[in-house]
Chains A and B, each alone.
Chain A
Amino acid sequence: MAEPMVRAEAVHKRYGLVEVLKGITLQVAPREVMCLLGPSGSGKSTFLRCVNHLEKINSGRLYVDGALVGYEERGGRLHELPEREVCRRRTEIGMVFQRFNLFPHMTAFENVAVAPVLVKKEPKAEAERRAQALLQRVGLSTKVDAYPNQLSGGQQQRVAIARALAMQPKLMLFDEPTSALDPELVGEVLDVMRGLAEEGMTMIVVTHEIGFAREVGDTLVFMDEGVVVEQGAPREVIANPQHERTKAFLSKVL
């Protein structure tokens, strides 16, 4: 079997005395789209942030593409990675945030083109050509020179997706990408994500969009209070949940 893109083994995360993740074990295969579902406070977003080391885990093991996240194992001990290495690995993981977090002082084009030049030292012409292509791909070729505050929420989120894709990541993390959008704007963002999934991008999507999880997701993971309650093929979990908590949650959101 191929090496999974993400492998979590009994991942625990504490904030002070509060344990947010209480032993998460799961795997995401290459080209797989995994949707994380669950009530707020269940640890979905925290898990996502652990995957690109925005948060440090307290115990367990977390691997991305076969390599430990944030550490290196030598002589039976874990060694913290230097910032340079942590940052290099982050370039391989794209992240899209609930609140878009576009850089407000840069145009859509600059938002997409800045990191490849600054971080990966790509030639400017190359990065700009790709930025143009990516903005066209997310349907914003006419908004290249717009500043984020001149764009709708849906447009901003599409720019944010293009910005993450500009680094040519092998894994994309979506943290409730449509939760801050007006209902009529959700579709345009989900369409872009659907397109990505069809092209074979490996994705972990924290979402409340049950329809998206059912149609695009390969696996659905239901989390509650820091543990994985249930996982499986989305259609089965949604149609026939095995656990009371999953049933209760689905009955509220469906």
Chain B
Amino acid sequence: MTIESDEGHRPDEIRAVPLRHPGRWAATAALLVLAAMLVHDAVTNPRFGWGAVGTYFFASPVVSGVEKTLELTFIAMVVGVVLGVVFAVMRLSPNPILSGAAWLYIWFFRGTPVYVQLLFWYVISALQPTISLGIPFGPEFVTWSSNSLVTPLVAAILGFGLNEGAYYAEIVRAGILAVDHGQFEAAQSLGMRRPALMRRIVLPQAMRVIVPPTGNETISMLKTTSLAVAVTYPELFDQAQNIATRTYEVIPLYIMASFWYLLMTTVLTFGQFYIERYYARGSSYSLPLTPIQRIRRNLTTLRRIPFSPSTAGDS
């Protein structure tokens, strides 16, 4: 075998005729026509009520509704995440009572519609007019009326939080199961007991699997809070509905609410990207570029000499 040295005889860069893509042009033309129709309708159809959309966008009930939507999303997610972690760890416990109880919880709250659960909490006083602390079947020490205890906000938190907890438990469980079994054995061989093993060894490693769906769940929760209309909690959509029934400007207010939801979910999407990036550190695959990095790279290295394929195969 001989190895020839090609120094000084570097072949010319390949400058091939690019492949044509007629299909792309056809699709682009079709989409442009559709987009033009939409824009034309939006501009010429007065029933869109763009003026009203603008008027109400920063109206004080709407802004307060946006705040309440964010607040409810945050609290319900915190409740959901805490319950989810607890029930996931219970579900994987060697104790059959604990894992059975967790199974039942997940089965029930994942198996019934969140809208129904929400209304159930809202009308809980019809089922249990009072709620008391005391000895089971024995004397009661403190008693509250359900109506004063379960306000619309509490009903919404219970409805969304308990439902989210059931879904989130499954996400956490998947994350825990994705951790290499050798990690459990190594921790056990060092004498770690289950709570320490979970908290210090397994859950931190499960985070990489858990974080991406958490962003997804948060975005989903933000939109689902619009169902709190049912329990008369004055969040964004409830406020939009209230104004719409008063002024009959239904379409503009639905458009206004949609814009707000879109704005908030867009901000969350960016947040998710950066959180995922943070938890992907130390893993073997390379991190995705941030938008700023991408722009900077495109500006600085417009043309780079390609990596020689003959060395790329070696490892």
Contacts and interface: CB of A to CB of B under 8 A. Distances in A.
Whether A and B are associated in the same complex: the answer reads: yes
A249 interface: no
Interface in B173-190: 180, 182-183, 185-190
A104 to B, nearest CB: 7
Contact of B190 (A99, A105, A149, A167): A167
B99 to A, nearest CB: 16
A120 B190 CA distance: 10
Nearest to A53: B188
A144 B279 CA distance: 22
Interface string B244-288: 000000000000000000000000000000000000001110000
Contact of A91 (B180, B190, B194, B204): B190
B192 A118 contact: yes
Nearest to B189: A95
A119 B191 contact: yes
B242 interface: no
Contact of B183 (A54, A89, A91, A101): A101
Contacts of B192: 87, 115, 118-119
A52 B189 CA distance: 7
A147 B282 contact: yes
Contact of B182 (A99, A120, A163): A99
A83 B194 contact: yes
B206 to A, nearest CB: 10
Nearest to B283: A149
B201 interface: yes
A128 to B, nearest CB: 16
Contacts of A115: 190-192
A249 to B, nearest CB: 27
B69 to A, nearest CB: 35
Interface in B188-222: 188-194, 196, 200-201, 204-205
A33 B298 CA distance: 61
A5 B205 CA distance: 36
B191 A167 contact: yes
Contact of B205 (A99, A104, A118): A104
A114 to B, nearest CB: 7
A129 interface: no
Interface string A44-55: 000000001010
Interface in A163-188: 163-164, 167
A119 B191 CA distance: 7
A91 B284 CA distance: 32
23 contacts: A52-B189, A54-B188, A84-B193, A87-B193, A90-B190, A90-B191, A91-B191, A93-B189, A95-B186, A95-B189, A97-B185, A97-B186, A101-B185, A103-B201, A103-B205, A105-B204, A105-B205, A115-B190, A118-B196, A119-B191, A149-B284, A160-B186, A164-B190
Interface of B: 180, 182-183, 185-194, 196, 200-201, 204-205, 282-284
